[in-house]
Amino acid sequence: MIRNYFKIAWRNLRKHKFYTLINIFGLSLGIGCSIILFQFITYHLSFDTYHHDAKQLYKVVTELHLDDGSVLFEQGSPLAMLKAKVNIPQIKEATAVLRIHNTTISVTQQGNVTSQLFAEHENVAITDNHFFDLFDYEWEQGNKNNALSEPNTMVLSHTLAQKYFNSQDVIGKTIRIDNKNNFKITGVIKDHPANTDIKTDMFLSLSTLKSIYPDVAEPLQTDWGWINTTTAVYFLLPDHISPQSVETMIRKMTVRDLGHRVNAFHFKLQPLSEVHFDGRYSGIIQRSLLVTLGLIGLLLIVIACVNFINMATAQSFKRAKEIGTRKVLGSTPSAIFFQFMAETASITFFAALLSVLWVWITLPVINNWLQTSLTLNFISDLRLIFFVLILLVLIIITAGFYPAMLLSRFKPVNALKNQLGQNTKSAGLARKSLIVVQNVIAQVLIISTILITLQVRYLKTADLGFNKSAVLMLPVPDNTKSKTDFLRNHLLTYPGITDVSFCYRAPASTADKGGSIKYDSRPWEKFVGRTIMGDAGYVKTFGLRLIAGRNLAEGDTAKEYLVNEKLIQKLGVKDPQQVIGHRLAAGDLSDNPGTIVGVVKDFNSKSLYTAVEPEYITTFRSAYQNIGVKISSNDPSTILAHIKKEWQAVYPDHVFEYRFLDEQIADFYKKEDLLNKLIKSSAVIAIFISCLGLLGLISILTLQRTKEIGIRKVLGASVTHVTTLLSVDFLKLVFIAVVIASPVAWLMMSKYLQNFAYRIEIQWWVFAVTAALTILIAFITVSFQSIKAAMANPINSLRDE
């Protein structure tokens, strides 16, 4: 019997090729997008879940509670937190990871001859053997229990070992770091998987910390207030111990060391499973975005199913006699029901095969586009297999149940006479409702796409209060005065270079230095000021605007400060001139108070997610890590070649690298770019699937009204009149969808834009453009078939009568 169902289903599908292809194509797009979104979601949900103790691992993060009631969230924690392992017995194990931003690697051979220089970024860290007890790595060489026990030892990944030595036989060989310290290789591990937030390829022994950072190693290890985004401490807790109880014990332990600062520092245990998602602590992606993408995938399936249901119910008139004949010959309602479900299953199966082909073809492009490592493996990926099977069952039930019930309930006499009565009316009402739902989904996606695109464009083009164009950022491996002065003087003599500044970071960066401030004889202020460190050329190089006083003078002894408008506003001073000459002490630089010499106009030192904060600029040579070079637009390649030559003359043992400041700022908005790409793609596909449905539906309904059209033409109706007659009902439904979709999209996007301190206003024209675009697309789609029917020879349609 089942074989017979599918045999007849195959005949019916072949008989109605056009509608079959539309259904298969529409469903395949919906299924394909759902598979890609499912893989994207599960990829992010799998981050760091493969470690054997993942559920008991916690990262220590910091909440800074300020006197003004605000809270700052810091992803790092003090290295002193490792003391908790000794003082709190409930902590089973602890380790720390200190990430190094930029590192120059030189590989030495016999005779201490350097063979080649390499630059590494963000993938070098300092840690101890306990790290490999908590986190799972596969060891190719060496012993994880003692690989980092001694000073000046290191563990390399498989890729770096091959990169540096073109061999895996590297145990005992030496690598030089930043032309200062030699490290012996004691272990080689397999490359970390893509789904981890600890993307480290080189591990240096923690016992070498004093050699790597001789100036700050002592406070770094002992000061509970020394918090840095690059320092992460991890705890392993037993199953029965709650993280809240350990947080309470940490607070009691820090009272003695932090003293009066204890109320400001709140150390929290963040589950490892939340590190990837918690945006407060620099999480990569928010769970809410994954939920949104999952909902979009579901809506695309809904749109495809709506197409199927609409065309199936529209074809009920055409199949009425077939169903009546079957019932007269003894077929039961259940047999007709399962017959139609077999047809639905067949279409869904072919659509699934085509969707796999779509995904297989586009996945390499999508991975490059989204910077992911998504795969399509139906042999080893059981989650994907179950997802596809469940999805296909849901589609078959959702798309097939209602049409199958409708067709199976036709009365034989009425079906044979084409007098379907109430069944046809109810089906028509349901069909219209589904068209509205389908178009509401598509229009919400279109409106969201337009608004997100406008917001991303605003983020990238907004006036940040400084000049970000034509500024090169170069690393400073050694910031001693003789070298920086020599490099500055040689760069400024070149005609294509207008300004040079040595600084810690550019005006807009992810750096987060700062502390409380003390103005004149007033007590310490309740708000926090942000520290920006740069030389006398900082203001001019980055185009900051002085509104009072003068620029900084070069020097490290007599401290001078530039403050921004927000800081003097927080101080309660209205006239910028009134702060000039007054004393200022900064919390992180309190050992050397200075004088305010100028006020700069507010500028955005972080992304536009956050508002401008109180900030002060001061010179601090030992902290300079970058050079900002302002170049002219004439012949940039020649200018760059000159900069490289001069830089390498000063730093011959380091790799020359550069980056344009505007590119660096654009990285702030990778999440928005990603969301924009995904929703834009979804909107295009949703519109395309909707148009396929309208095309199939108008084709069926036009066929049903063939004789009516013929009679109207014989009686003098024009092509325009007939086209309007066939199109107007569909356009009315699209217009109703516009009315419903607009407020829904407005509410959704208003909530989304609240995440930004600086954002666009939602303009009325966005909804007008969406409405016009949607109606135009629907009109073109419907008119294609309407005009064809209107221009047909009426004799052919009336010949049967």
Q: Which of 306-310, 365-369, 710-714 tops mean pLDDT?
A: 365-369
pLDDT (tens digit, 9 = 90+) per residue, 156-190? 999 999 999 888 889 999 999 988 889 999 999 99
Average pLDDT, the chain: 83
Instruction: Label residue 365 by pLDDT band (50, 70, 90).
Output: confident
The predicted structure's pLDDT at residue 237: 94
Q: How many C-beta atoms surround the C-beta of residue 166 within 10 A?
A: 8
Q: Return the higher-pLDDT residue of 70 and 551.
A: 551
Q: Which of 69-83, 134-148, 361-375, 478-492 tops mean pLDDT?
A: 134-148
Give yes or no for residue 749 having a pLDDT over 70.
Answer: yes
DSSP 531-594: EEEB-TTHHHHTT--EEEE-PPPS-SSS-EEEEEHHHHHHHT---GGGGTT-EEEEGGGTTS-E
CA distance linking residue 345 with residue 365, whole number of Å: 31
- Of 512, 505, 531, 508, the C-alpha closest to 229 is 512
pLDDT (tens digit, 9 = 90+) per residue, 228-252? 888 999 999 998 889 999 999 998 8
Q: Which residues pair with 514 in a beta bridge?
A: 530
The predicted structure's pLDDT at residue 408: 67
| Average pLDDT, integer, range 446-454 | 88
The predicted structure's pLDDT at residue 527: 83
Least confident range of 62-66, 97-101, 788-792: 788-792
The predicted structure's pLDDT at residue 801: 47
Q: Which of 772-776, 778-782, 796-800 tops mean pLDDT?
A: 772-776
| Average pLDDT, integer, range 110-138 | 84
The predicted structure's pLDDT at residue 422: 47
Instruction: Label residue 318 by pLDDT band (50, 70, 90).
Output: low
Instruction: Label residue 16 by pLDDT band (50, 70, 90).
Output: low
Q: How many C-beta atoms surround the C-beta of residue 546 within 10 A?
A: 16
| Average pLDDT, integer, range 370-391 | 87
The predicted structure's pLDDT at residue 568: 93
Least confident range of 123-137, 207-221, 311-325: 311-325
| Average pLDDT, integer, range 110-135 | 83
Backbone angle region of 421, left / alpha / beta, with phi > 0 → left and psi within -120 to 50 → alpha:
left
pLDDT (tens digit, 9 = 90+) per residue, 20-56? 788 888 888 889 999 999 999 999 999 999 999 999 9
pLDDT (tens digit, 9 = 90+) per residue, 662-686? 888 887 787 788 888 888 888 888 8
| Average pLDDT, integer, range 723-738 | 79
Angle in degrees, CA 512, 516, 517, rounded to 5: 115
The predicted structure's pLDDT at residue 525: 83
The predicted structure's pLDDT at residue 541: 92
Instruction: Label residue 330 by pLDDT band (50, 70, 90).
Output: low
The predicted structure's pLDDT at residue 688: 83
pLDDT (tens digit, 9 = 90+) per residue, 383-415? 999 999 999 999 988 887 777 776 666 665 554
For 601, residues 6+ apart whose C-beta sits below 8 A from its C-beta are 465, 544, 545, 546, 547, 564, 565
pLDDT (tens digit, 9 = 90+) per residue, 759-778? 889 888 999 988 888 888 87
| Average pLDDT, integer, range 280-302 | 86
CA distance linking residue 631 with residue 497, whole number of Å: 5
Are β-strands 181-189 and 174-177 bridged in parallel, bridged antiparallel, or unpaired?
A: antiparallel
| Average pLDDT, integer, range 131-142 | 94
| Average pLDDT, integer, range 501-526 | 83
Give yes or no for residue 434 having a pLDDT over 80.
Answer: no
The predicted structure's pLDDT at residue 707: 67
The predicted structure's pLDDT at residue 577: 93
